[in-house]
Chain A
């Protein structure tokens, strides 16, 4: 058995080699995703939802759970939840209620979270995701509406963590912000691709919700949060293994890493004859490892019961039909349309999507570039720059409109590819739009100017041997002269023009 110690300060889990564990175990994954809706006001009161506001400046008697206050549901949040459900192909309940989920924790001011229990707003949907050309169907169990909790700040511990803290400080600005929970059914059968399927699912879900405009779905700000369930069962087993639920998974990359780590850790536990504990585990971004969190409470421990302060939600069938008809073009349909419009193969399309360039290329085309030029820039030069800088494509300091302008300058012959790259340097350095940079840096291609004529004649005079070769019939030797002129003009000449001028003078026309 091949094992390794986890490179982690948080634990010394034994890990089985990934490829090896797949010969003995099959993973089942499941995902619970929480999305903070982008409503202006909270779920049950009129407090603002602005991210990053001063602590406890967006609270009122309702979201603080003060006696005598009464909640009223936010119509926009209900509508957004139904639209998410519809986009996931869910059945929309014709009648459902909110429920109280009772537990004590300082981030929950009322002693319960207003949530939904056995009557979620949306049920039985699905989302198809693609990994390496294969489609995996992820069944959606439910989509329900609840409220977010406050934020704890732990004081006195070493790293702001709860362990070792002397006390905690609570900010209730986030408490009561509408939160949609999207729960998948267990996903078996992904095998070695399970980590990637998990990531692809969250990515696709994020893109859908963004397209719907229901949330800004920013993982780093916590408006999209993901819990990843992972279990392993021996190959061929009819029963699934015990699952763990990994929290604090705060990026798409972490979703994949968390599943992979849990698979390797659980395999080592099972190989050693142990039992996987059903527990919540905490993902550590720095080491990519997980460590045990609180033990999972039983559903009955939450003592759910229907929320008496809110009346049932009964979406009108006609209204739901109208919402369904008004859904925007969803990412999968958009990809299919663009692939067709741009005449790309499935593989080419997959590259574009995986590079995170689809929206950027689309916007660049919309700004006037040809699809081929837009793809060439985003997947070529810009991807290289992003990679060198350790950034996502979208984080580069260049807009699709500016890229379109670059392609236009090249197409018009104002600059060649090499000069365009220099112009891009300027744009990325904040020197303005491409045309401005070309102007300011003097990057425009030289016409048949006196300077260029002089450079051409100097090249001919400087290489009589090459001239002799060309005149003797070795026309391809002209390339050396072109190179010399390009060098002398620091790349600002147009190679085709230079070649023509050389031919006129060396070969004669």
Chain B
């Protein structure tokens, strides 16, 4: 079967990402929270600036919600396919020197990253 039931899709397509209605607009606290998750340091001015910008983006996207889709079957993917898989076969990996050549820093054949703060594995 290749088409999901409408109910399944409606639920999973809900704007769960931010846990709220997208049309409600983004406040400064929301942007600060997102910035923290994205590990971005933003100034107070930037927070206000982006809150306004992002709200405008969300409002624009929310226009889609006004369309009458009563009779339109839900779409889950731009390509109407399911079960595109590969066989469990090993293919060659990249040579390590090529892999690490792209890294900003490497040490002991591994990617070197800065100190990881505030989180215990």
Please, how many angstroms separate the alpha-carbon atoms of A155 and B115 in the complex? 9
Contacts of A242 in B (CB 8 A): none
The residue from B16, B33, B85 contacting A304, defined by CB atoms under 8 A apart: B16
Q: Does A183 contact B (CB under 8 A)?
A: no
Indicate whether B71 reaches chain A with its CB closer than 8 angstroms.
Answer: no
Knowing A47-B90, A75-B85, A104-B39, the reply to whether A153 touches B110 (Cβ < 8 A) is yes
Query: Taking CB as reference atom, which chain A residue is nearest B38?
Result: A104
- Whether the Cβ atoms of A314 and B113 lie closer than 8 Å is no
Task: Kindly supply a per-residue 1/0 record for chain A positions 69-84, scoring 1 wherever the CB is within 8 Å of any chain B CB and 0 otherwise.
Answer: 0001111111000000
Kindly count the residue-residue contacts between A and B in the assembled complex, taking CB atoms under 8 Å apart: 172
Provided the pairs A95-B4, A166-B115, A294-B120 are in contact, do residues A41 and B90 lie with their beta carbons within 8 angstroms? yes
Say how far A475's CB is from chain B's closest CB, in angstroms.
Answer: 73
B93 and A103 form a contact (CB under 8 A): no
* Among candidates B4, B113, B120, residue contacting A312 with C-beta atoms closer than 8 Å: B4
Residues in A with CB closer than 8 Å to B68 are: none
Question: Given A41-B88, A303-B18, A306-B12, is A167 in contact with B115 using a C-beta cutoff of 8 Å?
Answer: yes
Main secondary structure of the interface of A (DSSP, over half): loop
B8 within 8 A of A: yes
Tell me the B86-121 residues at the A interface (CB within 8 Å). Answer: 86-94, 96, 99-100, 102, 107-116, 118-121
Q: A46-B90, A95-B82, A312-B82 are in contact. Are A170 and B111 (CB under 8 A)?
A: yes
Shortest distance between the CB of B17 and any CB in chain A (Å) = 5
- Find A169's partner among B12, B79, B107 (CB 8 Å cutoff): B107
State the interface size on chain B (CB cutoff 8 A): 52
Q: Is the CB of B93 within 8 A of A47?
A: yes
A303 CB to nearest B CB, Å: 5
How many residues of A sit at the interface, in one of the four size bands?
Answer: 35 or more
Q: Is the CB of B16 within 8 A of A311?
A: no
Q: Name the one of B76, B81, B87, B88 contacting A306, with C-beta atoms under 8 angstroms.
A: B76
- Taking CB atoms, residues of chain B closer than 8 Å to A77 are 88
Report if A128 contacts B (CB, 8 A).
no
CA distance A306 to B75 in the complex (A): 12
By beta carbon, the residue of chain B nearest A297 is B37
Segment of A56-64, A402-410, A413-421, A480-488 engaged in the interface with chain B = A56-64
B65 part of interface (Cβ distance < 8 Å): no
Q: List 13 A-B contacts (CB under 8 A).
A: A47-B93, A55-B96, A56-B100, A59-B94, A74-B85, A162-B116, A162-B119, A169-B110, A169-B112, A291-B120, A310-B84, A311-B82, A312-B82
Which residues in A have some Cβ–Cβ distance to B below 8 Å? 39-41, 45-48, 54-61, 64, 66, 72-78, 94-95, 97, 102-106, 118-119, 152-155, 162-163, 165-172, 247-248, 280, 282, 291-294, 300-301, 303-306, 308, 310-314, 316
- Give the interface of B toward A (CB within 8 A): 1-2, 4-5, 8, 11-13, 16-19, 33, 37-39, 76-79, 81-94, 96, 99-100, 102, 107-116, 118-121
